[in-house]
Homo-oligomer: A and B are copies of this chain.
Amino acid sequence: MFDRNHLDGIAAIVGSKGIVSETGEIRAYEIGARYDEGKAAFVVRPATTAQVSDVVAYLVSNGIPFVPQGGNTGLVGGSTPDSSGAQVVLSLDRLRSPIIVDEENRTVEVGSGVRLSTLNDELSAYGMFFPVDLGADPTIGGMVATNTGGARFLRYGGMRRQVLGVEVVLADPQGTVLDLATGLRKDNSRLDLKQFFIGTGGAFGIVTKAVLELQRAPRQRATALIVPSNGDAILPLLATLEETCGEYLSAFEGISRNALERTFSHIGHLKNPFARGEIPPYAILLELTRSWVPRSGELDLSTFLEGVLSDLFDRDEPLVNDALVARSEDLWLIRHSLTEGLKASGHVIAFDLSLRRSDLHRFRTQIIAILDAEFPDLAVCDFGHVGDGGIHFNLVYPRRPEASYVDRVRKTVLDVVVHEYGGSFSGEHALGRSNQAIYDHYTPDLLKRLSVSVKDAITEVPIGNFLFGQKA
């Protein structure tokens, strides 16, 4: 049982407002977004970097295990406590300041507890936005720790591209504050230490602040759902759009029929935009955006898109069967409802894969055939970021499956992804309790050995739910 004296020791640092230990209140910190939940000793919510430092120093000095947590919207069990009741949840959700925009530098300095939506609300007054975009509303610190990709990666890249600097508290008995919160776009004057804290799930240190590059907000947007004439047309379609639309192209998202059907069935308020409601085998959500206003004589972006779409039909072998231009909000609502729609339709066995985009269609065809033969009760309900090679290869089982069934499915899919395609089992959700065993199995020993050596050079104790490996 957890020593109650430690609760007092921590409360002396953060005050009573900084502690959550009541049964009702604490659940939100214990339950994750996808089937992961545990039991926390208690939750500590420091309000400043100095408090984070003091809390970490206390926890490390007393050998208390802890899990950093941002918005707790992650999908791989990175931010929830395990079932032991021994782990303290270190929530960063009170680090909601600063939000300091440097307009001329086109950057913002932002506390790690700030939500993505809050940041973008603040930025709209400047005509800017933060371009890493996704369905959930995570905190900035969580986005750094998971190296979030999102739906517009194709144009803007993921977190690693936007992060110019971070402030981090290291897990040592001093709670050392590492200030790398620079607003420089370029700095080759030393080892770029901030890279360690991006995409490592908090295991190298606790991000308390970030400096992010910003982009000018889109002023025009044109969106369409298009239906490739067949699977082989998907990649030529992407290449054609990159060639004809250049930087206007901001999203090229693929959605399978299974994913669409289940989402429309289970989420009542969505409108099915297809003619007669007939859902095609595969659809692409295509978005063009322009951050600058067209000059007199220039085409409006909608007119531009119409011309582009018409050219896709106007070929000897058309690349598309159908194209629906619709309100951007409506189409994105469908896209961002898929995760919820699938979860409502059964038990989701989720894969967050990344491949060379040149391999996507071949992989999909191959693996669907294998799964259909070996696991006939599974519905393949994939969707994903075709433009960057990301694929949320989600499978739905009618009920909660046996663990051994899930293991067999995982092995079947990942053996192909990793061994045949050199793909990744974690494209953008990073690392946590849910994929520890997968990491242990698929990561070459040399990489595990180097990673743990580096981690040990930075942090003195393990943090959170993921171990990079054991020292050789």
CB within 8 Å of B: which residues of A? 102-107, 127, 146-147, 149, 153, 157-158, 160-161, 176, 178, 182-193, 195-196, 198-200, 216, 235, 238-239, 242-248, 290-293, 295-299, 303-304, 307-308, 354-359, 388-390, 422-431, 435, 439, 442-443, 446-447, 450-451, 453-458, 468
Contacts and interface: CB of A to CB of B under 8 A. Distances in A.
Nearest to A234: B104
Contacts of A195: 192, 195
B153 A235 contact: no
Contacts of A468: 190-191
Contacts of A147: 188
The copy count of this chain in the complex is 2
Given A243-B292, A296-B307, A443 B190 contact: yes
Contacts of A308: 295
Nearest to A448: B190
A291 B389 contact: no
16 contacts: A182-B424, A184-B355, A184-B423, A184-B424, A186-B354, A187-B426, A189-B424, A189-B426, A189-B435, A191-B455, A195-B195, A245-B292, A246-B291, A246-B292, A298-B299, A456-B457
Contacts of A107: 356
A117 to B, nearest CB: 23
A421 B42 CA distance: 42
A208 to B, nearest CB: 16
Contact of A104 (B239, B244, B246): B239
Contact of A191 (B178, B196, B307): B196
